[in-house]
Amino acid sequence: MRGLRATSHLFRVPLDHADPDSARIEVFAREYSSTEHSDDAVARLPWLLFLQGGPGGRGVRITQLSGWMKAAARDFRILMLDQRGTGLSTPADAATLDDLPSPQAQADYLAHFRADSIVDDAELIRRRLGSGPWTVFGQSYGGFCTLTYLSRAPEGVDRALITGGLAPLAGSPDQVYRATFTRVGERNAEYFGWYPEDRDRVTRIARHLDRVAEFLPSGERLTVRRFQMIGSFLGGNTRVHALHYLLEDAFTTTVDGPRLSAAFLEQVHAVVSRASQPLYALLHESIYCQGLPSSWSAARVLEEYPWFRDDAAEVLLTGEMVYPWYFEEDPALRPLRAVADVLAEKADWGPLYDADVLATNTVPAAAAVYRHDIYVDRDLSLATAACVRNLEVWETDEFHHDGIADDGEAIFERLLAMTRRGPAA
């Protein structure tokens, strides 16, 4: 495929790596390499494991090498993991979870789908491939997983590259949402400064939804608070400007007055539906939990930020936070409401990071921290970086959370070069 070689791999792994007698699931991975290398040359290249954002995001599917993957394929064979429960790995969704006898049993099963299990999968896969320590590149949640990798199995990592993905090492998810709600508010102000006409347009759409029943293609009524979820565009570097094109398509004229256009409703549905990524909604808050329950953290913290209310005089757009009403309004999530509640109150989450191991880390590591990131807060990221030995930070305001989609080649090459300077003294 246009200079790209792709090879599929399927691995059987334990559901619970701590219990060798536990059930087995499958984890799929696709190997990408450049046809500029011969088959023999590829076999000699070192491996690079890419850990995707999420949780619940499958590995990237590509048909040609571009961006960071084009840069990486010069020196590596790339393994793109479908993290457990996603893509072609054994699925974890409403249909498969329905086979379990109760919401508690479903929650017990899903407890094995966090970063610790993903890292244990990766280590098993590395050994089965016959690879020595490999380079790990983590984007967003993949960066969280990379920190877990450095905590649990640093012997398997040659170098660690992280972009937009330094998680707090301790504390409640509440600290995350307080920080990110603040940054989302700032990003709203920036966006409406660029597009002042959209300030009135967003509120007009919200008030229209109060009065008129508008339905998404999947059949459910679009509510104001679900419409606010299109604020996910705000986390983009160039994608943020696509929000303007979405909003300008909003209204069409009918004999009964203004209505939301079919094109607009189709585009909104693609943004707000979790049908293709149910694990994101189920596990999102748990990725910050170590010992304590989330207790629907984002919904609680939102009460401290009334300007995000759906009945505000000037409606604001929100980010990637997850709320319990998701599981009422999204048809794909309704069957999962009971297990979502169990997970929200789960109080015995295991540790994801080992602060002592990270404080003595010897693996060369580099992280891009995006100063105005609305999803992974800059201040919390820098606090984490200060606790990880041998981690060099590149802080920039040039990119937002999806920086590698904008100029992935330059970002990857910079991070790789930072890890080639040698270990810290």
For residue 283, give the nearest of 113, 118, 143, 116 by alpha carbon. Answer: 113
Torsion of CA 175, 157, 86, 339, to 10 degrees: -40
Question: Counting Cβ atoms within 10 Å, is residue 423 exposed (0-12), middle (13-18) or buried (19+)?
Answer: exposed
Contact 412, 161 (CB under 8 A): yes
Looking up tokens 């105005």 gives 372
Q: How far apart are CA 284 and CA 278, in angstroms?
A: 10
Q: How many residues does the chain have?
A: 425
Q: How far apart are CA 410 and CA 413, in angstroms?
A: 5
Active-site residues, by number, are: 140, 348, 401
Q: How far apart are CA 361 and CA 153, in angstroms?
A: 11
Maximum Cα interatomic distance, the chain, rounded to a whole number of Å: 74
- Crossing angle, helix 196-211 and helix 173-194, to 10 degrees? 110
| Exposure class string for 402-416: b at 16+ Cβ within 10 A, else e | bbbbbbbebbbebbb
DSSP per residue over 190-238, as a string?
HHHHH-HHHHHHHHHHHHHHHHS--B-TTSPBPPHHHHGGGGGGGG-SS
Pairing of strands 157-163, 251-254: unpaired
- Based on DSSP, count helices (H) and strands (E) in the chain, helices before strands: 18, 10
Q: How far apart are CA 119 and CA 150, in angstroms?
A: 9
